[in-house]
Amino acid sequence: MCAAALAAGAVSSMAQSNVYSLNVVGYVNLPVAGSAAGAFTFIANPLNTTNNTIASLIPNPPDGTTLFKWTGSAFVSSTFFLGAWSDGTFTLNPGEGGIVQSSAPFTNTFVGEVMQGSLANPYPAGFSIKASQVPQAGTLTQLNLPGSQLSDGDTVYQFNPTSGNYTINTWFLGAWSPAEPTIAVGESFWLQTAAAGSWNRTFNVQ
């Protein structure tokens, strides 16, 4: 890892995820929780690829690993078994979120391009699973989704795979309560909003 960091140039290392980038190409090592009972981890794809299919993004997880995506009304899933996903065309694009259930912990390496320029990440009214489109950690304000864009009562739910509980923060009367969410690289979260909107930002590596 040190040799790779020296060759590529580390731009950041945050929240238990090691992030390295050279110009617009990089990789992210993302730890995924696991247990005999099947631990859950909310993940995101922080780098863009030619197709963003899970067969290429997550090529070798433990057997039995399942990835769930929320459609807005139900979950769809794909399971890895005997070296292949049940649906390898299943996609996880930057900005989307997925829930991984694994029987054993593993570290997945995402490889791809850092998305740059003017980025738009629409979200619907109600519940959605969202993530930053770029490999950057920070508060929602720092990631350009300030509470002022939201409505009173809009809520962020962040899952803790260690405790199995959610950290819940709500925007109300001009402030986050109890605290503004901080999002790690490669982390997704539930976003509950009264109205549809778009998480827009302009991002450039240089």
pLDDT in tens, 53-91: 999 999 999 999 999 999 999 999 999 999 999 999 999
First vs last C-alpha separation in the chain = 23
Distance, in Å, from the CA atom of 170 to the CA atom of 152, rounded to the nearest integer, reads 8
Q: Could you tell me if 199 and 150 are in contact, meaning their C-beta atoms sit under 8 angstroms apart?
A: no
Tell me the pLDDT band of 7, cut-offs 50, 70 and 90. Answer: very low
Average pLDDT, the chain: 90
| Mean pLDDT calculated for residue range 106-133 | 97
Q: What is the pTM of this model?
A: 0.88
Beta strand pairing call for 117-123 and 165-172: unpaired
Distance, in Å, from the CA atom of 99 to the CA atom of 189, rounded to the nearest integer, reads 9
Would the pLDDT of 9 be above 50? no
Distance, in Å, from the CA atom of 90 to the CA atom of 92, rounded to the nearest integer, reads 7
Distance, in Å, from the CA atom of 12 to the CA atom of 75, rounded to the nearest integer, reads 33
Q: Which residues pair with 193 in a beta bridge?
A: 126
Would the pLDDT of 137 be above 60? yes
Annotate the chain with DSSP letters as a single string: -HHHHHHH---EEETTEEEEEETTEEEEEEEE---TT-EEEEE---SB-SS-BHHHHS-SPPTT-EEEEE-SSSEEEEEEETTEETTTT-B--TTB-EEEEESS-EEEEEEEEPP-EEEEEEE-SEEEEEE-SSS--EETTTTT--GGGS-TT-EEEEEETTTTEEEEEEEETTEEES---EE-TTBEEEEEESS-EEEEEEE---
Query: CA-CA distances (angstroms) from residue 9 to 13, 25, 150?
Result: 11, 11, 36
Q: Which residues pair with 75 in a beta bridge?
A: 70
Q: In this structure, which long-range contacts are made by residues 163-169, counting pairs with CB atoms below 8 Å and at least 24 apart in sequence? A: 164/40, 166/190
Tell me the pLDDT band of 25, cut-offs 50, 70 and 90. Answer: confident
Would the pLDDT of 13 be above 60? no
